[in-house]
Amino acid sequence: MCPLSSAREGEELSVMRVSLDQHVARRLGEMGLVKGASVRLVSRDESSVVVSVGGSRLALGGQMARCIWVSPCAHRRP
């Protein structure tokens, strides 16, 4: 398990934990970024990440991405 900000571009991930304040976590949940969701890391740099979730792309600040914990998806290809 690692923070979303440390994952590799193109990697398919499962959200394991969202350690953000309740209001922010709720808003992300409305956009599909919840515990158990499958996401793909589209791009990242020092200050932001872009993820694909539920057919949409979300841009998140680096500090927020460090509070979202992910693991590689079990169904990923070798």
Q: What is the pTM of this model?
A: 0.87
65 band by pLDDT with thresholds 50, 70 and 90: very high
Task: Report the chain's terminal Cα–Cα distance, integer Å.
Answer: 18
Q: Are 62 and 47 in contact (CB under 8 A)?
A: yes
Domains and CATH numbers, the chain: 2-72 (2.30.30.90)
Nearest alpha carbon to residue 12 among 77, 59, 58: 77
Task: Say if strands 2-3 and 68-72 run parallel, antiparallel, or are unpaired.
Answer: antiparallel
Q: What is the per-residue pLDDT for 28?
A: 94
8 A C-beta contact, residue 37 and residue 52 = no
